[in-house]
Amino acid sequence: MGLGFWARLAAGLCATVLAFGTAPDAAAQAKKIKIGVVYDYSGPFAGGGSELHALGAKIMLDHFAKQGGVEGYQIEAIYADAQSKPDVAINEAVRLVEQEKVDMLLGFYSSAECVPAAARIEQLKKFMWITTCISSAVLENRHLKYVFRPQPSGRQFGLMSTDFVAQVSKEKFGKDPKDLKVAIIHEDGAYGVDVSSGNEAGAKKAGFNIVLKENYAATAADLSAMVSKLKRARPDVIFHTGYNPDITLFLRQAREQGLKMSALIGHGAGYGVYDKLKESLGTDVNYFFNVDPISIWLTNQTALAPALPPMIKIIGDEYEKAKPGMTIKSAHVGMAASNTYVFMTEVLPRAIKKYGGIDADALRKAALEVDLPQGGTMLGFGVKFEGDDAAMSGQNDRAFPVIVQYVDDKSYVVWPKALQLRDPVLPLPASSPYAMAK
């Protein structure tokens, strides 16, 4: 055998050793889940709550990344700005999938973006985990396989607020529900339409006298005409669904035009960003109500799973670092953090261990098996997703909102009674510029 043979043999052995030596490293590097995260960092939705949801999700994703990932998979989050525009949200989702090669998508604040984005992501056969947008239209009768939402639906928000008013009408307003005049006003996107449909259904069930139902564009520059209609209709209670700055615009013009009411009940979004409301409106926001999933900082921590209170502290500490000196910790941050935590602790590890990976089908099967009882999330509710045959397939049917009232720079759960921290202040006291004269 010549020298050439031995040289070739040595080269072959060297290549084999190198191949075996580097294969585990390559495999280790390949074990990564790339998560595309889409929120509104600019435009009107940003200040209406999206930036805070984005912060909550980032706190949680960063936490798991620092912990070394999940079940051997490193976490790589790639962030995108939907700019408060549905077409941009869709384009960014597609870009993340096709160019950034993300394995799944997480986030989405605006229902107007969520409805079309969910359909497009489903077409791409990618898994979508919705931390925020609440419109029933995102899921209802669409039978999407890869879209899941741990949040309650917008219709639940609307039904919760009307049921609350019906229950306290006699005691607080001295009127039977049939004698109570209510108005329903809302931004005209998927979010506002869905919540207002819940308001309308709940108001009809309670027997309220609906004196006005009016919608407007969230980007409207003037809402004075709507305020004039409300003044003529003279509702006792106004149910409002909006973002920001439309909420601020409405309340400023309402005060300027002398609109009076006995109660104002908002439904998430801009009404969940107390510091932003206070900055724009000062003490005018005192005694307003907001419907949202409970703030993780207001839950009864003794009723939660033992692993959750330490996580709530971690989230609060990181929130304080990012936004020092906030008056009230916004429920928005906790919502996104809690919903992201459910994915990272319940869906992702089950998909990897039981279904062999992180593709959309594995994540879907894992999501459908999540079965958390009440107290199983930082938001107090449990998690069980409706299956393929259900009208709301992909919806967490154990989720529910609560009603808080802002009183002297603090927020208190006032409904349902089982979670009540204090009795609601009703009607608006004389100190409010919107209070009806007695």
Q: What is the DSSP string of 271-287?
A: GG-HHHHHHHHGGGGTT
Tell me, yes or no, whether 240 and 323 share the same domain: no
Domain membership of residue 413 (yes or no) is yes
* pLDDT for the residue numbered 275: 86
d(CA 4, CA 69): 49
Tell me, yes or no, whether 165 and 144 share the same domain: no
Tell me, yes or no, whether 231 and 360 share the same domain: no
Tell me, yes or no, whether 135 and 185 share the same domain: no
Backbone phi and psi for residue 5, each to the nearest 5 degrees, phi listed first: -60, -50
Tell me, yes or no, whether 304 and 258 share the same domain: no
* pLDDT for the residue numbered 268: 85
Q: What is the pLDDT of residues 277-329, one digit of tens each?
A: 898 899 999 999 999 999 999 998 999 999 999 999 999 999 999 999 888 89
Helix (H) / strand (E) containing 236: none
Q: E strands along 247-372, which residues?
A: 263-267, 289-292
Domain membership of residue 228 (yes or no) is yes
Q: What is the mean pLDDT of the chain?
A: 92
Tell me, yes or no, whether 47 and 135 share the same domain: yes
Q: What is the largest CA-CA distance in the chain?
A: 111
**pLDDT band at residue 438, thresholds of 50, 70 and 90?**
low
What is the Cα 259 distance to its own chain's centre? 31
Give the strand pairing for 263-267 and 237-241: parallel
* pLDDT for the residue numbered 27: 46
Tell me, yes or no, whether 179 and 118 share the same domain: no
Query: How many distinct structural domains can be found in the chain?
Result: 2
Q: The domain containing residue 114 runs over which residues?
A: 30-152+300-369
Domain membership of residue 387 (yes or no) is no
For residue 24, pLDDT beyond 50: no
**CATH number of the domain where residue 256 is located:** 3.40.50.2300
Per-residue pLDDT, averaged over 227-246, amounts to 95
* pLDDT for the residue numbered 328: 86
Per-residue pLDDT, averaged over 271-282, amounts to 88
Cβ distance 44 to 246 under 8 Å? Answer: yes
The structure's pTM equals 0.83
